[in-house]
Amino acid sequence: MTSRAEDGERASWLEVDAAALRANVVELKSLLEAGCRLGVVLKADAYGHGLEQVLDALPDEAEVIYVITAADGLRARALSRSARDVLVIGAVGPREAVALARAGVEAVVGDEGWRGWVGPLREAGARLRVHVHIDSGLGREGWRPDAIGALAELRQASDALEVVGAMMHFADTEDVTHQDYALFQLRGFDEGVRALESALGVSGLTRHAAASAATLVLPESRLDVVRVGIALYGLWPSDKTRISATLHHRVLPELRPVLSWRVVAQHVKELPAGAFVGYGCTHRCRDRTRVAVLPVGYFDGYPRAVSGRAHVLVEGRRCPVLGRVMMNHLIVDVTGVPVEGDRPLLATLIGRDGEEEVTADQLAEWAGTISYEIVARLGGHLPRRRIDAGRGSAC
């Protein structure tokens, strides 16, 4: 497995652990009350994990799929083996609306774009199932509860648009341990749903509000379906969420990171004491140092902001990243790593190797960001390989 890259082969790849993904789905499903469905968010190429690889590994307990774009909605519909609902939560164009209706994918009325859908849907003789986005305090898509009356116009379009649900999105569940603002938003949502149902003369709309953090710590937010993103991939939304969850659950839910990022060293060599490493000469070797040049950099999604702070794992050992992260290269200190013949070194940038682990959270902390950004920005060109390792075993 640890071999040098052949012609045209990438020396760096992502591993998507199907066993960990399945375990997370089962764990998350076990938190939900009977009758509440588990929806999973596969936007941004499944948070960088690969839409195809994640769908392939997704067990049936994940009953609803959420994506942002119509193109991803159609792909998810085509690739999903079970008969799940697929819902596009982002902006949709008129031709896309027709394609979604024909494919049986649902969309969200979250802006004025829906007006442009009605004509093409009528012409096509298609009817699109839609959810209305209620803005209960994020300030992003949707209608504020007191402005829902304007959506009475949807009634005249009921031949083209069938309103089946209502959604909202929380603004401040991850960064707090007190959920006052979330509860305020839930009350606004409730008001909005009642206004919507009376404007449309319908009842029993499917209601969904909770993303990962609310699902984990705010039972009253779970409603009819939850929309779990980051937790599906085995990452906690934040430390605050983890702390809150320890108070809410007798046993802290176990989330297993799904993703690992590996790279085979391109070059290993000795540098003398006093040698400089990398752009800006920000690192100088105090002693004779064995370095490995890794053919990945910020182009691939390894953040430049971690320069001078990060380590990677090589043969189960922590190896500091020396100097600055470059566009296509990282230089790491492998002095402490035993070399066996000319076997190429395998480095782990995210994931486990032996007893050691570098998490996406750790990388995010070094970079001054959140794990969401780290995984979502992993290069689309990196191969995603499905593995089925489960806990413990690395590669």
Instruction: Give the residue numbers annotated as catalytic, written as ranges.
Output: 43, 279
Nearer to ligand PLP, 89 or 157 (CB): 89
Is residue 41 a contact residue for ligand PLP (CB under 6 A)?
Answer: yes
Is residue 31 a contact residue for ligand PLP (CB under 6 A)?
Answer: no
DSSP code string of 57-96: H--TT--EEEESSHHHHHHHHHH-SS--EEEE-S---HHH
Nearer to ligand PLP, 146 or 175 (CB): 175
Please work out the total of residues on this chain that contact ligand PLP, with binding judged by CB under 6 A: 13
Q: Tell me the closest approach of the beta carbon of residue 374 to ligand PLP, in angstroms.
A: 13
Nearer to ligand PLP, 212 or 260 (CB): 212
CA–CA dist 67, 78 (Å, integer): 14
CA–CA dist 59, 248 (Å, integer): 26
- Number of neighbours of residue 187 by Cβ within 10 angstroms: 13
Q: Which of 29, 227, 256, 384 binds ligand PLP (CB under 6 A)?
A: 227
Q: Tell me the closest approach of the beta carbon of residue 260 to ligand PLP, in angstroms.
A: 20
Closest by CA position to 350, among listed 379, 328, 327, 381: 379
Q: Which stretch binds ligand PLP (CB under 6 A): 122-130, 217-225, 229-237, 270-278?
A: 229-237
Write out the H or E segment, with its range, that includes residue 21.
Answer: helix 18-31
DSSP code string of 305-361: GGTTT-EEEETTEEEEBPS---SS-EEEE-TTSPP-TTPPPEEEEEEEETTEEE-HH
Is residue 230 a contact residue for ligand PLP (CB under 6 A)?
Answer: yes
What does the CA dihedral 244, 249, 252, 254 come to, rounded to 10 degrees?
Answer: -110
CA–CA dist 88, 69 (Å, integer): 6
Nearer to ligand PLP, 142 or 351 (CB): 142
Is residue 229 a contact residue for ligand PLP (CB under 6 A)?
Answer: yes
Closest by CA position to 73, among listed 49, 96, 39: 96
Q: Tell me the closest approach of the beta carbon of residue 201 to ligand PLP, in angstroms.
A: 27
Closest by CA position to 23, among listed 392, 290, 391: 391
Residues 154 to 183 in contact with ligand PLP, rule: CB under 6 A: 169
Instruction: Give the pair of three-digit tokens for residue 294.
Output: 């890794």
CA–CA dist 116, 98 (Å, integer): 11
Nearer to ligand PLP, 141 or 333 (CB): 141
Number of residues that make up the chain: 395
Q: Tell me the closest approach of the beta carbon of residue 208 to ligand PLP, in angstroms.
A: 8
Strands 106-109 and 384-387: unpaired
Q: Which residue is nearest to ligand PLP (CB)?
A: 229
Nearer to ligand PLP, 28 or 291 (CB): 28
Q: Do 382 and 12 meet the contact criterion of CB atoms below 8 Å apart?
A: yes
Is residue 121 a contact residue for ligand PLP (CB under 6 A)?
Answer: no
Sign of CA dihedral 235, 236, 239, 245: negative
Q: Which of 62, 98, 193, 211 binds ligand PLP (CB under 6 A)?
A: 211
Q: Which of 89, 130, 217, 337 binds ligand PLP (CB under 6 A)?
A: 89
Residues 336 to 395 in contact with ligand PLP, rule: CB under 6 A: none
Q: Which stretch binds ligand PLP (CB under 6 A): 9-17, 28-36, 224-232, 306-314?
A: 224-232
Q: Tell me the closest approach of the beta carbon of residue 53 to ligand PLP, in angstroms.
A: 18
Q: Which of 212, 238, 260, 348 binds ligand PLP (CB under 6 A)?
A: 212
Nearer to ligand PLP, 124 or 138 (CB): 138
Residues 231 to 270 in contact with ligand PLP, rule: CB under 6 A: 231, 237
Is residue 319 a contact residue for ligand PLP (CB under 6 A)?
Answer: no
Nearer to ligand PLP, 271 or 370 (CB): 370
Strands 330-333 and 106-109: unpaired
Q: Which stretch binds ligand PLP (CB under 6 A): 70-78, 152-160, 208-216, 331-339?
A: 208-216
Q: Tell me the closest approach of the beta carbon of residue 209 to ligand PLP, in angstroms.
A: 9
CA–CA dist 95, 116 (Å, integer): 9
Is residue 228 a contact residue for ligand PLP (CB under 6 A)?
Answer: yes
Binding site for ligand PLP (CB under 6 A): 41, 43, 89, 169, 211-213, 227-231, 237
